[in-house]
Amino acid sequence: MTNPIRIGVIGSGYWGPNMIRNFYEMPAADLVAVADLNDDRLQHIQKRYPGVHTTKNHRDFFTLNLDAVVVATPPATHYTLAKECLEAGLHVLVEKPLTLDSAHADDLIALAAERDLRLMVGHTFEYNAAVRQLKRIIASGELGDLYYIDAVRVNLGLFQPHLNVMWDLAPHDISILLYLLGQQEQVQVSAQGMACIFPTVHDVAYMHLVFPSGVLAHVRVSWLDPSKTRRITVVGSKKMAVYDDVEPLEKIKVYDKGVEAPPYTDTYGEFQCSYRYGDVKIPRIDFVEPLREECEHFVQSIRTGERPQSDGHVGRNVVRILEMAEQSLHQNGHAHTATLADTSQQLALSHVSEL
Ligand SMILES: NC(=O)c1ccc[n+]([C@@H]2O[C@H](COP(=O)([O-])OP(=O)(O)OC[C@H]3O[C@@H](n4cnc5c(N)ncnc54)[C@H](O)[C@@H]3O)[C@@H](O)[C@H]2O)c1
């Protein structure tokens, strides 16, 4: 039997403990160490996982014969921590967003390539069985030609002091869009929003993306909404699909609904569309915790040396789109073009079900 992959996790705040639990429970991994600047967080980990080494200094990891590190700290720290870990010869899984600057993301990609190390980003939804199912539905042609995608990710809080709501919530939706639509050379991005509670941090944003194929996408993110909504609507020429992540069981519904325009006549009185109100199909989804899939995929990519699904290039593309959206936000919605890195070497759809 091959030895388990020895892992350290930096950051044990809100999200880090989920990574810690998953790697601790995975037979293919050995959770060796956890670093956090906060003593209370470390005490909590010590109590819960007595055999795990805890430290306030992540550099202690470099003496523990680790294979890989997970960076689950605030986004402003991702670049420096990931860079140090790659330089120390460790494979790295960085939480989303990969960095706050696409030039930093490029640096990390180059460093990982130079050292032949895996660099992966925690785009959890790319490992979500419902999102994968939606990708299969789109690829099968069941929805017809895609017209537009509408994504909503809103709730009350959690406010971040330095980072606006786009950088916090929209990485999920952008990574889902890129995953669903596949390789894109560029995308036109604009955004408008408001800073309602704190004067300099936008807590509501409306992003508008136009893909080269003509598909339009709209992403609404907010920390200031009365109800939690996580919904993606895909409208095509034949059918429409809705993915509702808040639904416990029926996460995807495919609606056989559509509209046929009447043949053109110049007599206004004869204008009548034909509307189709067909069946609603709810595909069965065998749901596994997406984070478990993500963690297993990271370990697997270290073992095989294969490029992870959500690798540095994918993470960089999400950062690039967010950068352009940020510029647009401060220019009252002026559109920018984000040039995207080549991700065509990603795992093909045929591999998606096997991940
Ligand atoms: N994939 C997801 O669904 C998902 C969900 C939530 C958060 N996240 C991401 O996880 C990351 C962490 O978010 P969070 O909400 O847990 O933040 P948090 O503020 O709750 O926790 C961050 C922790 O990192 C520690 N930390 C900061 N700098 C450190 C350093 N240099 N060394 C060691 N520890 C350090 C802090 O003490 C804190 O305990 C972010 O990138 C966030 O975007 C991802």
Please report where in the chains the tokens 């598909």 appear, as a residue: 215
Q: What is the 3-state secondary structure (H, E, C) of 135-175?
A: HHHHHHCCCCCEEEEEEEEEEECCCCCCCCHHHHHHHHHHH
> Looking at the predicted structure, is the pLDDT value of residue 264 above 80?
no
Q: What is the pLDDT of residue 247?
A: 95
* Mean pLDDT for the stretch of residues 227-256: 97
Compute, in degrees rounded to 10, the torsion defined by CA atoms 189, 187, 133, 149.
50
Between helices 165-181 and 312-329, what is the axis angle to 10°? 130
What is the reported pLDDT for 107? 98
Q: Collapsing DSSP states into helix, strand and coil, what is residue 7?
A: strand
Q: Which residues make Cβ contacts (< 8 Å) with residue 180, sequence separation at least 6? A: 131, 134, 135, 138, 149, 234
Quick check: 262 pLDDT over 90? no
Separation CA 109–CA 106 (nearest Å)? 5
Spell out the alpha helix ranges (H) of the chain. 16-25, 39-48, 78-87, 102-115, 129-140, 165-181, 290-304, 312-329, 349-352
Give residue 351's pLDDT. 47
Question: In DSSP terms, which residues pair with 102 in a beta bridge?
Answer: none
Q: Which of 9, 10, 12, 14 to mutate to test the pocket of ligand 1 (most atoms within 8 A of CB)?
A: 14
Quote the percentage of the chain above a pLDDT of 70: 95
Most informative mutation of 15, 34, 162, 298 for ligand 1 (most atoms within 8 A of CB):
15
14 lines ligand 1 (CB under 6 A): yes
Ligand 1 contact, 98 CB (< 6 A): no
The rounded distance, in Å, linking the Cα atoms of 58 and 81 is 8
Q: Which residues pair with 274 in a beta bridge?
A: 260
* Average pLDDT value for residue range 84-95: 98
CA distance 216 to 235: 10
Q: Which residue's CA is minimally distant from atom 43 of ligand 1? A: 96
Q: If you average pLDDT over every residue of the chain, what do you get?
A: 94
According to the model, what pLDDT value does residue 287 have?
86
Q: Rg of the chain over CA atoms, in angstroms?
A: 22
pLDDT at 353 over 60: no
Q: Is 312:108 a contact under the CB 8 Å cutoff?
A: yes
* Location of structure tokens 């936000």: 329
